[in-house]
Chains A and B, each alone.
Chain A
Amino acid sequence: MGQMLVDGQRIEFSDEKNILQVIRKAGIELPTFCYHSELSIYGACRMCVVEDKWGGISASCSTPPKNGMEVYTNTPKLQKHRKMILELLLSAHDRDCTSCEKNGRCKLQELAIRFGIKNIRFGEREENLPIDDSSCAIVRNPNKCIMCGDCVRMCEEVQGIGALGFAYRGSNIQVVPAFKKKLKDVDCVNCGQCRTVCPTGALIIRNDTAKVWKDLNNKKKRVVAQIAPAVRVSIGEEFGMAPGEITIGKIAAALRKLGFDEVYDTGIAADLTVIEESKEFIERLEKGERLPLFTSCCPGWVRYAELKFPELKDNISTCRSPQQMFGAVIKEHYKKSDAEDGRETISVAIMPCTAKKYEAGREEYSNNGVKDVDVVITTQELCLMIKQAGIMFGRLEEEALDMPFGLASGAGIIFGVSGGVSEAVLRRCYSQKTSSTLKEISFVGVRGMDGIKETVVNINGKEIKMAIVSGLKNAGELIKAIQKGEKNYDFVEVMACPGGCIAGAGQPLPSSKSVTRQRAGGIYKADSSSQIKRSEENPMVIALYNGLLKGKHGLLHNHCACNSHSNEKES
């Protein structure tokens, strides 16, 4: 506890770790490129410098507050240094702003405008380094990199992967995967968290909208959309709405205007996942084998496990992710009518996630060269399409989704947030189906934004130990603890992105903690206002099991030796 003077204003501080936080508390937005509260302090951009009363200059991000401290944030000296730093950055940066994906939302551009940089006294960038577009999720343009290291730290500190690092010295420094390999050739799991912190256009989502536009304009194609739960609580942010606002009706209207033939909810596939995964869990629990059961709906996590913990293969649920379950179901559903109408069904998934692009391209999700999910576009890409089409999203009248796949239970919707899968599975597994049980489940410790949540529940007289992790570094640590025998669980839910899909890399930016929290609020609100709370009570799900899925449960599972359903699909 203490007090300090910020530009003469007395500000109290308590647990703020650095004076940057104290200064922001004072209502002053100090510019930064490399400061993110969830990452370690890096101190490289030097934009957040402040001056003390003796004229000394220090970076506020790395200076702890002290009682009686006196700092100034906007002196002529500081203005001069900040402008110089911006000029230096701009001179080393690509200047093709107008054609940059980040145009209008680039931090460098924003600060250059804010500080009135009209003239750059240095020469232009000379080298033109090759763009790495090898990854199906992320495109890396080193010519736009300002070496703030945010991506490097995100990948290392939050995701525990370290796919990116620094190479070379001085002004030749570059952020690259090890040995200058391509992104697709290293242990990148395509989670895209790097791009959520990249201040410029150096790391962007691969843009797959061209393919969608093409199919939308082709009468021979039946373009079917599935909308992931997390998209509905974030897309509004791009159109001036508050994070967490539920816009599923507007999304449906927008998609129809764009020309989609059918608009469905991925939540129904999440309901299928709940049923399949619960069954699998109970079976394993009874047999006491392959425990803990790890969830399989997050493709970033699945890839991470394959790369770092291949020994866990059998512990990961054989269930396909909701996206892929749905992809398989849709293709199956339209098989007959496609043949009759002479059309081809194109399955487009609208996801908060970049790793879903990778997942859709996995070998096991294609049948004779036909992909279950043809294109994955992120929330951001959908926003681009809506803007391109001139659709005023905010003014759209809400519309209902199409049937038979437009209805999801609340349990399916909460998949969008960390803990949601676990909560949905619990709703399924609890034998008591009253509303008070629902409330009880929501309080057992599955909710909240903590990176690692643990809980013990009682199902049918049996104690079940559960863990819910988000952020892959947390996952890695938890697995190590399990492997060492320090921890013991029956069920582990893993989401690659901190907070779950609502904070996916395909979402509008910023995905700060408070924004994520608001989006989670939206998800839980959607759940509480839904008529159906449990997956097994979703009439459309029941209809599917009695119809299309009869004898075809294999559509919902991954091929593997341990999976008895696989034979069913082949037959």
Chain B
Amino acid sequence: MTIATIEQLHQASEKYGALLDMQHKKVLVCAGTGCVAGGSIEIYNRIKELISEKGLLTEIELEEEKPGIGIKKSGCHGFCEMGPLIRIEPYNYLYLKVKIEDCEEIVETTLIKGQPVARLMYNWQNKVYETQEEIPFYKKQTRLVLGNCGHIDAESIREYIANDGYKALGKCILEMEPEQVCKTISDSNLRGRGGGGYPAGRKWAQVVAQSSDIKYVVCNGDEGDPGAFMDRSVMEGDPHRVIEGMIIAGFATKSHQGYIYVRAEYPLAVERLKAAITQARQYGLLGDNILNSGFSFDIKVNQGAGAFVCGEGSALTASIEGERGMPRVKPPRTVEAGLWAKPTVLNNVETFANVPQIIINGSEWYKSIGPEKSPGTKAFAITGNVNNTGLIEVPMGTTLREVLFDIGGGIKNDRRFKAVQIGGPSGGCLTEEHLDLALDFDSLKKVGAMIGSGGLVVMDEDTCMVEVARFFMNFTQNESCGKCVPCREGTKRMLEILEKIVAGKGTVEDLELLEDLADTITETALCGLGKTAASPVISTLKFFRDEYLAHIVDKKCPTKNCKALNSIEIDKTLCKGCSKCSRVCPVGAITGKIKEPFSIDQNKCIKCEACLDSCPFAAIREV
């Protein structure tokens, strides 16, 4: 079907809304990458099979007007720790860690009898949470960008339209001039969600100001930070929202071609985006003469080969052009000469996904969420040593404590919180002293971190911060494009020094050299990624210098993570002199007289820990 006019769009919205209402019960099986890996597609198929057998299935795509049960593959519900997840409406039950064996019970008990399956529900401190909305993980969230994720069928344009989808586009075309659209986005203070926080409206206006008659809209979906998956979830769970945001950007900047650059490691996102683009074209919402307005806009999906640096604007556009993904010097900036040297709007997935709701609800509404200078919500991916890992969305300005403890459910295994790495390898770490810091673009910059794209890697007291710095430096060195000297050679040398330190071979001079290198890289590297490559080292050095010194001076890793610095010792008070350890030691480092305490020759010991397991008296320890 083709939607040729705005009236038809409204009619379609009503019609599909009515069809959705026919589904008096809806089963939303999470089909985000995490849950899919946990087997959610099999679960989806099984439940579908069961309800079809009973003749209860109603499919919106078939335009069935008989009441029944709808089942859909939804976008990421966010509570990835507990996947595979199933939400059942209208009860709003959320079933966790569902297995294929649970399907029959879910169908019988919930879908037929309307009763909950309590054993599949969230249970925290002996309290069972019946509805999804009650669960603390969801309670404190404000899911706007992720509003549809987990609530509608991620593969259905009809459901998107039924949920006011493409209404913002209709509004732009029917009621607004391109300049007004730009102004609305400018007035809303929407800031780029890719990390920099540059005002999106200002960027659009700069593209409008260029005289070129060819302009491009590019969506950056090259989310490369380790531990970040916000953009992936939006592209997988609500692809039409991104597409709609891009079309609106095209309308506002008089561009007719858009590109979505997605990393090839996101096959599901690529598949859903491509399917969504095909649907939008079929419905006349993308392509020539959209909604009979005379405005034409089309979108192409480009796959990146998984280079972190391609998240940098000029490297990304080079990659789309088929060139090697290497950042270039600026000026000219992307807004002046971006893709194929034409003025280009380059925004991140989440930024575009914010656009439709701002158009519908207005800039004042948007500004009312979060702090005035950093309004709106922000999606975060919480991973690491935290109870509730997953995808969340909170208003900007929410404190780290709320995010980690209220939503994240605190640190795993009741360990103490130590730090959180925010902003990926370009960001820094935040510690206990920052727990009450309101998270927004400006506050984080002040403490030497950045919101980045929104990855939060939580670390507990057992994490070695020198090792964390080494991990990120290893990542940065591998992902450096190799163009400018400070980033290419500097990160290599920083990594070498960090490797030396964790191996117990570091010197105090190394620490100085590490700081000198960090300084040169930060001040002289060519692109944003290079300039921030040393951030994890700088911030760990700032907050955990003692840990570095312990490695260097005392030759000890306080968290015992760095094996090279640990020694294995026999507690003489516990050792009974049974000689078991001495017999398993492959290098003959353990000697002693039977029935007297044994000892380990540290010069011979290779720290294989074979003795540790062999001791029947737990007398051998790693210290």
Contact = CB atoms under 8 A, between A and B. Distances in A.
B523 interface: yes
B477 A170 contact: yes
B331 interface: yes
B489 A92 contact: yes
Interface stretch (B265-273, B382-390, B478-486): B478-486
B479 A44 contact: no
Contacts of A61: 329
Interface string A94-132: 000000000000000000000000000111000000000
Interface residues of A, number: 35
Interface of A: 41-46, 49, 57, 59, 61-62, 64, 77, 80-81, 84-85, 88-89, 91-92, 121-123, 146-147, 149, 165-166, 168-173
B491 A59 contact: no
A121 B512 CA distance: 11
Interface stretch (B57-65, B277-285, B346-354, B513-521): B513-521
B330 interface: yes
Nearest to B522: A57
B307 interface: yes
Interface of B: 307, 309, 324, 326, 328-331, 477-486, 488-493, 496, 513, 516-517, 519-520, 523-526
B488 A147 contact: yes
Contact of A62 (B330, B496, B520): B330
B485 A88 contact: yes
Nearest to B517: A84
Given A42-B329, A80-B520, A91-B493, A170 B486 contact: no
B483 A44 contact: yes
B478 A170 contact: yes
Nearest to B488: A171
7 contacts: A43-B526, A46-B485, A59-B526, A84-B520, A169-B479, A170-B491, A171-B489
Contacts, number: 102
A45 B485 contact: yes
Given A64-B331, A122-B496, A147-B488, A166 B523 contact: no
Contacts of A89: 485, 489
A122 B523 contact: no
A46 B526 contact: yes
Contacts of B489: 88-89, 91-92, 171
B513 A43 contact: no
A146 B482 CA distance: 10
Contacts of B485: 44-46, 85, 88-89, 146-147
B484 A46 contact: yes
A80 B516 contact: yes
A50 B486 CA distance: 15
B307 A169 contact: yes
Given A59-B524, A84-B520, A169-B307, 15 more contacts: A43-B329, A46-B525, A62-B331, A77-B523, A81-B524, A84-B517, A85-B520, A88-B489, A91-B489, A91-B493, A121-B513, A122-B496, A169-B480, A170-B477, A170-B482
B482 A147 contact: yes
A81 to B, nearest CB: 5
A171 B491 CA distance: 9
Nearest to B330: A62
B579 to A, nearest CB: 44
A81 B324 contact: no
A93 to B, nearest CB: 10
Contacts of B523: 49, 57, 77, 81
A62 B314 CA distance: 15
Contacts of B526: 43-44, 46, 59
B498 to A, nearest CB: 13
A147 B485 CA distance: 8
Contacts of A166: 324, 326, 482
A168 B324 CA distance: 10
A547 to B, nearest CB: 58
Nearest to B327: A43
Contacts of A88: 485-486, 489-490, 493
Contacts of A149: 483
Contacts of B491: 170-171
B480 A171 contact: yes
Q: Which of B329, B490, B492 counts the most A-chain CB atoms under 10 A from its CB?
A: B329
A173 B481 CA distance: 8
Contact of A170 (B480, B516, B520): B480
B328 A43 contact: yes
Contacts of B513: 121
